[in-house]
Amino acid sequence: MAKSKLEYIWLDGYKPTQSLRSKTKVVSDFSGKLEDCDDWSFDGSSTEQAEGGSSDCILKPVFICPDPAVENGYLVMTEVMNADGTPHVTNGRATIDDPDDDFWFGFEQEYFLMNPETGLPLGFPAGGYPAPQGPYYCGVGGQNVYGRDFKDEHLDLCIDAGLNIEGTNGEVAAGQWEWQIFAKGAASAGDQIWVGRFLMERLSEKYGLYIEYHPKPLGATDWNGSGMHANFSNTLIRTAGSKEKIEAVCEAFRSVVDEHIAVYGAYNDQRLTGKHETAAITDFSYGVSDRGASIRIPLYTKNKGWSGYLEDRRPASNADPYKVAARIIKTVKPVK
Ligand code: ADP
Ligand code: MN
Ligand code: MN
Ligand code: MN
């Protein structure tokens, strides 16, 4: 009997930032299909998701792809349910209200590659700093690039897993990188970002590195922080055809700044200072091609006759894409 290894992946209950967990299920004669993945359970008292007295939580499979690093392996993204079948309070995916997948999302995941011995990003000498920012963004050459092997291997893993990864680039700080994933459907975009993060975490074990998702790991220095820009559209935005309609969507965000910031990642106040291509956390602004705004109207959208997509630049690198998407949908959906 052929054996397959299914890696069940979920989000734990840690605060203020949930982390990834996974365990391996061995099954016989597996079809490779999501509908043939059984629900599974885990000890929620070990992940801050249950009390010891009634500790079982349920893992409900929602997305599957081949595991490119494991023979006969599959990656199974799951959402956490209570024993009675209702969504667990830590389940951000269940809060997405987009049954017809009208919302498309492209997330730009930034991160730092860290040296566990120094606790500093790759390229940072112990006790000091490399040359100032400037040459690292999309940089080339040994004096500018730190961790390209890792970044390229992660890209190959994502492609081989069938994720809709669209690209990668070196970011503004030394040791800082980005990759982007796009999907038609908010839940799918979230699933793929989380599986992409899982592949990155697991690869970091092999390289003896770790991933830093903190939005401002170098504190109040002149070094950029990390975001997870959320590019989004629905039928209205894709077919708006006028400046007024696009601006009406942007305006809908103004009165709910706090609600958005609440799910845009912990410690984001340290990043959204108004410097380093960010808008201040207390402000709300939008503008064409404006990388200092809360929401950027891409030139693409203006040039396509005010139809296309928008970029919310505020979400931090440690945000949960499910919760970010759910909140954006809640704000944009009522706009007519
Ligand atoms: P930048 O770094 O200039 O902000 P990127 O190329 O890194 O831009 O990211 C742009 C993202 O916008 C990509 O993930 C892309 O898939 C996404 N995108 C493009 N068109 C749409 C659309 N219609 N709806 C949602 N996202 C979109
Ligand atoms: Mn980008
Ligand atoms: Mn970027
Ligand atoms: Mn961007």
Ligand 1 contacts (CB < 6 A) are 104-106, 108, 166, 180, 182, 229, 231-233, 238, 308-309, 311
- pLDDT confidence band for 55 (50 / 70 / 90): confident
Q: Which two tokens stand for residue 113?
A: 């590659």
Global pTM value: 0.98
Contacts of 324 (CB under 8 A, 6+ apart): 107, 228, 230, 263, 264, 312, 315
Domain 3-89, CATH homologous superfamily name and number: Glutamine synthetase, N-terminal domain (3.10.20.70)
Please list the helix, strand and coil fractions of the chain in percent, rounded to the nearest 5, in that order.
25, 25, 45
The pLDDT tens digits for 41-52 are 999 999 999 987
In this structure, which residue's CA is closest to atom 9 in ligand 1?
Answer: 108
Question: Residue 181 pLDDT more than 80?
Answer: yes
Nearest CA to 261 out of 214, 222, 313 is that of 313
What's the 295 CA to ligand 1 centre distance in angstroms? 13
Q: How confident is the model over 187-210, as a mean pLDDT?
A: 98
How many H-runs (helices) and E-runs (strands) does the chain carry? 8, 14
Distance between first and last Cα of the chain: 56
Residue in 107, 182, 306, 310 to alter for ligand 1 test, most ligand atoms within 8 A of Cβ = 182
Q: What amino acid occupies position 272? A: L
| Angstrom distance (rounded) from CA 259 to CA 10 | 25
Tell me the CA distances in angstroms from 160 to 25, 65, 67, 74, 218, one per residue in order: 21, 9, 8, 12, 33
Contacts of 207 (CB under 8 A, 6+ apart): 149, 150
Chain length of the chain: 336
Least distant ligand from the CA of 224 = 3
- Identify whether 298 is preceded by a cis peptide bond (ω within 30 of 0): no
What's the 190 CA to ligand 1 centre distance in angstroms? 15
Which atom of ligand 1 is the closest one to the Cα of 178?
7
The pLDDT tens digits for 132-172 are 999 999 999 999 999 999 999 999 999 999 999 999 999 99
Topology annotation, domain 104-332: Creatine Kinase; Chain A, domain 2 (3.30.590)
Tell me the domain boundaries of the chain: 3-89, 104-332
The pLDDT tens digits for 258-317 are 999 999 999 999 999 999 889 999 899 999 999 999 999 999 999 999 999 999 999 999
Question: Residue 1 pLDDT more than 80?
Answer: no
Which atom of ligand 1 is the closest one to the Cα of 233?
24
If you write DSSP's letter for every residue of 227-288 in order, what string do you get?
Answer: BEEEEEE-HHHHT--SHHHHHHHHHHTGGGHHHHHTTS-TTHHHH-SS-SS---TT---EEE
What's the 202 CA to ligand 4 centre distance in angstroms? 25
Nearest CA to 9 out of 19, 24, 22 is that of 22
